[in-house]
């Protein structure tokens, strides 16, 4: 087993694979000198899970074998990372092997904390409690929606950073339309319980989404965080984050976005800041203490939404800055916080929200994007997966 690599990449998700592919495209001499460390058998295109949970696509379309996405010229180390020792340019894997590197890219993603909600693990996947944040349970979301007979349909958003922050409301809009098509909308209360301050952070897109809530007659309650679920009793308990009071609500369907956090091995490492996320400069993505370490993606402490679109802009910055370091040049590539969230508002409508660190719209289309558009739905459903598999993961987009 090889013990030293020019570049070690922790994480075989969107960020890690994209950076590895870009480096190998730029520098052919890195063939055999890059390794991706990830224990997973599969690689998932998670943005499709929303559409799978709404019965639009099969979830298998979002999954491929990990071996098929590892960049040509990179080794795949099918292990987890146990600890880091950046002072010695090394890390230790779960089988106690010590690997050294010249440059380290840390992109392990974010972990779901199902246990953070009392009773959730015991009832998820039954009692009409579902979640699109799990490949294993996403089919149950559609089963729950299509068999729904009316009552309270509650959708949640937790008081933590989450990947794809729009996903909890996307499935809500799709479910509401499914209820309408099934002729049970008049017997249904669609309820959004969100820990956020508003339906969306960026005012331009918040305005149009507030109109969607109004048109669809969705009851939205903000600053509420799910703390407990009792599936058998069909009760969900929320904490009012302004008053600290607990509010109990009955449900006939509950879609949960679980609390999320940085992976434990990141939180417990010297690479993390006080929040538990990787401590990187928000523009260069270089670690603030270790110059040959870079972090990107959901596990990094970057003040922007955690999306694949954000990674599409972060990955070139990391690759270019690593190459600059190798050549002894200053770091010139900068990331401005760009992210994108295609907010699905129905079975043929999307609001394509694009913005930066300052919550300013960064629209790339030649029209006003604060509008529900059919064309953007097909972008989300049909074009973006192609761009992902054939472009991003190949290091060319």
The domain locations on the chain are 4-110+262-334, 113-260
Q: Which residues pair with 100 in a beta bridge?
A: 4, 90
Q: Which residues pair with 242 in a beta bridge?
A: none
Contact of 74 with 11, CB cutoff 8 Å: no
Rounded Cα distance, 173 and 377, in Å: 13
Q: What does each C-alpha distance from 156 to 56, 171, 220, 328, 334 come to in angstroms?
A: 21, 11, 10, 48, 35
**4-110+262-334 with 113-260: one CATH topology?**
yes
**How high is the pLDDT of residue 200?**
97
Rounded Cα distance, 33 and 5, in Å: 5
Reply yes or no on domain 113-260 having CATH 3.90.1300.10: no
Torsion sign over Cα 287, 289, 291, 293: negative
Query: Is 341 in the active site?
Result: yes
Chain mean position to CA 135? 13
Is beta strand 34-37 parallel, antiparallel or unpaired with respect to 81-85? unpaired
SS (H, E, C) the chain: CCCEEEEEEECCCHHHHHHHHHHHHHCHHHCCCEEEECCCCEEECHHHHHHHHCCCCCHHHHEEEHHHHCCCCEEEECCCEEEEEHHHCEEEECCCCEEEEEEEEECCCCEECHHHCECHHHHCCECCEECCCCCCCHHHHHHHHHCCCCEEEEEEECCCCCECCCHHHHHHHHHHHHHHHHCCHHHEEEEEEECCCCCCCCHHHHHHHHHHHHHCCCEEEECEEEEEEECCCCEEEEEECCCCCEEEEECCEEECCCCEECCHHHHCCCCECCCCCECECCCCCEECCCCCEEECCCCECCCCCECHHHHHHHHHHHHHHHHHHHHCCCCCCCCCCCEEEEEEEECCEEEEEEECCCCCECCCCCCCCCCCEHHHHHHHHHHHHHHHHHCHHHCCC
Lookup: tokens for 46? 């998670």
Rounded Cα distance, 318 and 166, in Å: 26
Query: Is 257 in the active site?
Result: no
**How high is the pLDDT of residue 1?**
73
Rounded Cα distance, 50 and 168, in Å: 9
Q: Quick one: 26 exposed, middle or buried, by C-beta within 10 A (0-12, 13-18, 19+)?
A: middle
Contact of 68 with 19, CB cutoff 8 Å: no
**How high is the pLDDT of residue 397?**
87
Reply yes or no on domain 4-110+262-334 having CATH 3.40.190.10: no
pTM: 0.97
List per-residue pLDDT tens for the chain, 397 residues long: 789 999 999 999 999 999 999 999 999 999 999 999 999 999 999 999 999 999 999 999 999 999 999 999 999 999 999 999 999 999 999 999 999 999 999 999 999 999 999 999 999 999 999 999 999 999 999 999 999 999 999 999 999 999 999 999 999 999 999 999 999 999 999 999 999 999 999 999 999 999 999 999 999 999 999 999 999 999 999 999 999 999 999 999 999 999 999 999 999 999 999 999 999 999 999 999 999 999 999 999 999 999 999 999 999 999 999 999 999 999 999 999 999 999 999 999 999 999 999 999 999 999 999 999 999 999 999 999 999 999 999 999 8
Q: Which of 164, 172, 310, 315 is catalytic?
A: 164
Q: Which of 341, 352, 353, 384 is catalytic?
A: 341
Torsion sign over Cα 362, 368, 373, 379: negative
Q: Which single residue is written with the structure tokens 């994108």?
A: 340
């Amino acid at each position: 087993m090889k013990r030293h690599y020019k570049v070690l990449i922790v994480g075989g998700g969107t960020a890690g694979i994209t950076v590895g592919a870009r480096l190998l495209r730029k520098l052919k001499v890195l063939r055999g000198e890059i390794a991706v460390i990830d224990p997973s058998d599969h690689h998932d295109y998670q943005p499709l899970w929303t559409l799978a949970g709404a019965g639009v696509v099969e979830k298998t379309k979002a999954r491929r074998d990990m071996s098929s996405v590892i960049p040509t010229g990179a080794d795949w180390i099918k292990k987890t990372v146990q600890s880091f020792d950046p002072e010695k340019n090394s890390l230790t894997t779960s089988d106690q092997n010590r690997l050294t590197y010249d440059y380290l890219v840390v992109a392990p993603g974010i972990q779901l904390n199902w246990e953070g909600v009392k009773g959730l693990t015991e009832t998820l996947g039954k009692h009409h409690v579902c979640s699109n944040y799990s490949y294993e349970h996403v089919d149950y979301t559609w089963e729950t929606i299509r068999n729904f007979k009316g009552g309270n349909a509650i959708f949640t958003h937790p008081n933590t950073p989450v990947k794809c922050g729009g996903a909890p409301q996307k499935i809500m809009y799709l479910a509401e339309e499914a209820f309408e098509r099934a002729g049970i909308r008049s017997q249904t209360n669609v309820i959004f319980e969100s820990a956020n301050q508003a339906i969306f952070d960026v005012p331009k897109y918040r305005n149009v989404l507030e109109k969607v809530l109004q048109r669809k007659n969705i009851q939205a309650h903000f600053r509420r965080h799910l703390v407990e679920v009792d599936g058998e009793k069909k009760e969900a308990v929320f904490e009012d984050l302004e008053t600290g009071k607990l509010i109990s609500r009955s449900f006939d369907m509950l879609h949960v976005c679980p609390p999320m956090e940085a992976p434990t091995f990141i939180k417990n490492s010297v690479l993390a800041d006080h929040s538990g996320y990787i401590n990187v400069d928000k523009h260069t993505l270089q670690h603030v203490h270790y110059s040959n370490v870079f972090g990107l993606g959901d596990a990094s402490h970057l003040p922007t939404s955690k999306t694949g679109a954000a990674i599409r802009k972060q990955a070139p910055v990391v690759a270019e800055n690593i190459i600059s370091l190798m050549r002894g040049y200053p770091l010139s590539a900068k990331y401005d916080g760009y992210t994108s969230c295609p907010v699905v508002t129905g079975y043929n409508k999307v609001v394509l929200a694009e913005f930066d660190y300052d919550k300013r719209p960064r629209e790339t289309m030649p029209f006003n994007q604060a509008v529900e558009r059919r064309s953007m739905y097909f972008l989300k459903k049909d074009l973006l997966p192609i761009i992902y598999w054939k472009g991003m993961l190949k290091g060319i987009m």
